[in-house]
Amino acid sequence: MRTFLKIPFLPVLLGVLLLAGCGGKDDGAATEEKGALDKLTEAAENMKTMAEEMSSDTYANREPQPPVSFRVLLTYLPEQIDDMKKENPRGETSTMGEWTYSSASADYKGPEGKSARVELLDYAYIGMLYAPVRMWLKMKIDRESTEGFERTTEVAGYPAYEKWDISSEHAEVTVLVGDRFIINIDTRKMPENMPREIAQTMRLEKLAMEKGQPPA
């Protein structure tokens, strides 16, 4: 199972610590170092502010709920994408301490390297697990270049993040459905808008209404 947690703060914070520990430089190097340190410190402070905002958002004020069973999540995965049939469907409901969450995923493979992977996660309002999603929602990303693009957007009215790399024909989309379910779709050697189109076939309005059942 893919783990969705990431730690984007770490490189910035490590850089701050390393530069702060340097000494014995001449005045020019010290000035240059100080400028770099100021920028890194500012970036770290921005990250800290964003983390504080996330800790006070919707998820921080919600009690975790029983997750939707992975068996139900599996029914939302597409049976077929273009001419590629669903392969190796897998799912699980896991408990770590007081946290219980579910996941389901499947692969789709075609000729000449064409492929897709669809993953559906129910983190059942466990606030910490939503941190990466809440971060890009607040950042409002929009970047385009000769290499491709990445941006925050909407898919079927739900907040989303999508990315496209031209050279590898690699596209990704992450969609937050009903402020609860996370869909990750990854395609290779397919059109740039394919992940978006796949997500739109997944009965998102019905998924948003799903609720987990407490253990018997």
Q: For the ranges 23-37, 85-99, 172-186, which has the lowest average pLDDT?
A: 23-37
Q: What φ, ψ does residue 73 adopt, rounded to 5°?
A: -60, -40
* pLDDT tens digit sequence for 92-115: 999 988 889 999 999 999 999 999
Q: What is the pTM of this model?
A: 0.74
Place of tokens 């402070």: 45
Residue 41: both structure tokens together: 């410190």
Q: What's the pLDDT at 52?
A: 55
Q: Could you tell me the CA-to-CA distances from 28 to 20, 24, 32, 35, 37 in Å, in that order?
A: 16, 12, 6, 11, 14
| Fold exhibited by the domain 64-208 | Protein Transport Mog1p; Chain A (3.40.1000)
- Output the pLDDT for position 136: 80
Higher-confidence residue of 49 and 155: namely 155
Q: In the chain, where are the structural domains located?
A: 9-56, 64-208
- What does the alpha-carbon distance between residue 23 and residue 29 come to, in Å, rounded to a whole number? 10
Question: How far apart (Å, rounded) are the C-alpha atoms in residues 23 and 120?
Answer: 49
What Å distances lie between residue 3 and 18, 168, 203, CA to CA?
29, 23, 24
CA distance 97 to 95: 6
Of the listed ranges 6-15, 144-153, 157-166, the one predicted with least confidence: 6-15
Question: Which pLDDT value is given to residue 142?
Answer: 94
Question: Which one is predicted more confidently, 29 or 184?
Answer: 184
> For 122-141, what is each residue's pLDDT tens digit?
999 998 889 888 888 788 89
